[in-house]
Structure 1
Amino acid sequence: MRVDKYLWCVRYFKTRNIATKACRKGHVRIKDEIVKPSREVYPTDELEVRKNQINYKIEVLDLPKSRVGAKLVNIYCLDKTPKEAFEKLELLKDSQKYYREKGTGRPTKKDRRELDEWLDPIKKQEKDTENDR
């Protein structure tokens, strides 16, 4: 079975076209080799798929005849992705939130000054010493 079709069948990609594009961009590897979408997949192959900033590690257990339901995916593949990858993604999401909450618009001048002071406390100390003079 083709690697793009396999990834679509086991629901790692919503459409086969997206799976094909991921292969062409080099987001899919077998044994640390970038593969083309037409590369054949066999049981016991280990795939590495980069999706949503996570490197998923998948072991092929069996080949499905067609796209399978979500409950049956575990029969055809084994997910060996380390937990640290998901924790890293959560940290990345949290680090993006500290700057500005979504939907609050552009920062005002006051917000901008507070952010600058928070990010660079040395400047704040210099301003405080200037104001005391």
Structure 2
Amino acid sequence: MAAEHRDHDRTDRTNKADGSAGSGRSGAGGPHTEDVAGQKPGPTDAEPKGAAPDDTDPKIAAAVAAAEAAGPQSGETVRLDSWVWSVRLVKTRSMAATACRGGHIRVNGERVKPAYSVKVGDEVRVRQEGWERVVFVKRLIRKRVGAPVAAQCYIDNSPPPPPREAIAPAGIRDRGTGRPTKRDRRELERLRGLLGDPPEDH
């Protein structure tokens, strides 16, 4: 009877040993062990899906392409008044030409004519309404483009604009006040002189 109990205990120990060894083999050969060993990288090791080769904004890339399409042909030059109008520093090309003649637009610190040929790297200063825009030419274009495209054609080093309260609204009268008196006209002419506007013809 004691011999049967000893055989039974020996059989149980053998089965337990075989079971633990088998579980160890299955754990060693499972997919988890391969992941840990680095043979099969998991999702965290892979590159994120949909990642672009660079971080360029598609809108900026489209604006740059549009600016290059608006540029001159090989060997052609761009007039100053045309460039200033094209990049939306002034509202019309005629205003740009008038500002050049009046000395309100300067290139590299010099007073130039509207037909001056702009070059990449030129510093262009545009004085308007008590504020001076300071930009460096980055791309040459000769036709007016939208604001996002225009922003890709120059480097803006302008100082912050003055507050609106600092700009006197010369020539603006309240509705219903009628025609200005002689005293009102003298005051308007004084304000225009402070802003640099030419007086009206009498």
Same fold (TM over 0.5): yes
**Distance of 1:103 and 1:64 partners within structure 2:** 42
Structure 2 residue aligned with 1:103, among 152, 174, 185? 174
Q: Which of 47, 51, 71 matches 2:128?
A: 51
Q: 2:104 maps to which residue?
A: 27
1:73-99 per-residue CA deviation (whole Å, 9 max, x = no partner) reads: 11111211112xx1x343413xx58xx
Query: Aligned-pair RMSD on alpha carbons?
Result: 2.2
- Say if 2:106 and 2:126, in contact at 8 Å, map to a contact too: yes
Aligned position for 1:2:
79
Q: Which amino acid aligns with 1:22?
A: A
| Equivalent pair of 2:124/2:134 in contact (CA under 8 Å) | yes
More strand, by proportion: 1
Task: Provide the residue aligned with 2:164 in structure 1.
Answer: 90
Alignment check: 8 A CA contact 1:47 1:59 kept:
yes
Structure 1: 5+ residue stretches without partners: 106-133
Structure 2: any 5+ residue segments left out of the alignment?
1-77, 178-202
Letter in 2 for 1:20: A
Question: How many residues of Structure 1 are paired with residues of Structure 2 in the alignment?
Answer: 98
CA distance in 2, matches of 1:29, 1:81: 14
Aligned to 1:62: 139
Q: Deviations over 1:41-78 (max 9, x none)?
A: 01111111101111110110001242111121111112
Report the secondary structure of 2:145's partner residue: coil
Residue type of the partner of 1:33? E
Maintained 8 Å contact 1:48/1:57:
yes
Other structure's SS at 2:132 match: strand
4+ residue stretches of structure 1 with deviation over 4 A?
none
The 1:89/1:25 distance shift into structure 2, 3 A limit, reads farther
- Of structures 1 and 2, the larger Rg is shown by 2
SS in 2 for 1:75: coil
Match for 2:117 among 40, 44, 65?
Answer: 40
